[in-house]
Amino acid sequence: MKLENIKEFAKSIIGDDVTGHDWRHALRVEANAKKISSTELATEDIEIIRASCWLHDTIDAKISDEKRASIQDVEQVLRENGATERQTEEILYIIQNLSYSKNIDQKQKLNQNGQIVQDADRLDALGAIGTARAFYYGGSKKHLIYDDTRPRKAEDITEENYREQYSVVNHFFEKLLILKDCMNTKKGREMAEHRTEFMKQFLDELFDEIKEANN
Ligand code: ADP
Ligand code: NI
């Protein structure tokens, strides 16, 4: 595969998105994937993983208004840049099935490459960077930082109501603190646990600082 061209294409689509899904997110996902992959991966698998990391948000509703057209664009770019039929299919399957929202109502089956990309993407939702992204995303969607009057539990979320407006702090409880229990790989789980500890510490400090302002 002509990876450089695929990379340039992905960068041209997500570029400087202002919801936390900009090109640097794709690069961090790629770096996470490298960290959690075993050293014995075949070159072909590494290429599929890297391309999926770069492309995974180009078809997402947060970036694209026309999901079907975006999928076709990715398909064309892959074919034009030397991906075989099988590689194209695998990458398209991974990027259409890894997202959190796609896995709420029913868990999607992913092969080893897909599981690595999914863990790598989830890791970027955790820790210091995940915390920064959550507030950044919330701000871009005009969500409140916190709101004691509208808590929502993880078990009450569906694919349908996932994007409804709740506070960013609530998002930690409905998703971010739970993600560590959904990791596919051992290394991914270890990193997720470390990042979750940081988020808990952050929330403890936050609640401590704001508690006197309640009521
Ligand atoms: P996926 O693409 O896997 O479905 P999302 O688009 O929900 O996942 O999340 C990507 C990142 O966007 C999250 O990790 C988080 O940082 C941010 N995000 C998504 N929804 C919210 C929300 N309601 N409040 C705050 N941040 C959010
Ligand atoms: Ni992502």
Contact 87, 46 (CB under 8 A): no
| 95 close to ligand 1 (CB < 6 Angstrom) | no
Share of the chain above pLDDT 90, in %: 79
| 28 close to ligand 1 (CB < 6 Angstrom) | no
- Ligand nearest to the CA of residue 54, numbered in listed order: 2
Q: What is the mean pLDDT of residues 101-115?
A: 94
Closest C-alpha to ligand 1, atom 17: 134
- How far out from the chain centre does Cα 6 lie? 19
Give yes or no for residue 36 having a pLDDT over 60: yes
Contact 56, 26 (CB under 8 A): yes
Q: What is the mean pLDDT of residues 77-83?
A: 97
Q: Nearest to residue 112, comparing CAs of 93, 127, 84, 85?
A: 93
C-alpha of residue 213 to centroid of ligand 2, in Å: 35
| 172 close to ligand 1 (CB < 6 Angstrom) | no
Q: What does the pLDDT read at residue 215?
A: 53
Buried-exposed string 112-146: b where 16+ CB fall within 10 A, e elsewhere: ebbbbbbbbbbbbbbbebbbebbebbbeeeebeeb
pLDDT digits (tens, 9 = 90+) for 146-174: 987 766 676 777 887 777 778 999 999 98
Give yes or no for residue 136 having a pLDDT over 70: yes
Higher pLDDT pick, 79 / 159 = 79
pLDDT digits (tens, 9 = 90+) for 181-198: 999 999 999 999 999 999
DSSP symbol at 115: H
Q: Which two tokens stand for residue 49?
A: 């993983």
Rg (C-alpha) for the chain, rounded Å, is 18
Give yes or no for residue 42 having a pLDDT over 90: yes
| 10 close to ligand 1 (CB < 6 Angstrom) | no
Share of the chain above pLDDT 70, in %: 96
Q: Which two tokens stand for residue 173?
A: 């409880």
Q: Which atom of ligand 1 is nearest to the CA of 121?
A: 3
Q: What does the pLDDT read at residue 154?
A: 67
Q: Which atom of ligand 1 is nearest to the CA of 98?
A: 3
Buried-exposed string 192-212: b where 16+ CB fall within 10 A, e elsewhere: beebbeebeeebeeeeeeeee
C-alpha of residue 81 to centroid of ligand 1, in Å: 31
Mean model confidence pLDDT for the chain: 93
Give yes or no for residue 133 having a pLDDT over 90: yes
pLDDT digits (tens, 9 = 90+) for 53-66: 999 999 988 888 89
Contact 150, 167 (CB under 8 A): yes
Cα gap 125→172, rounded to integer Å: 10
Q: What does the pLDDT read at residue 157?
A: 74
Q: What does the pLDDT read at residue 150?
A: 64
- Using a 10 angstrom Cβ sphere, with 0-12 exposed, 13-18 middle and 19 or more buried, the burial of residue 91 is buried
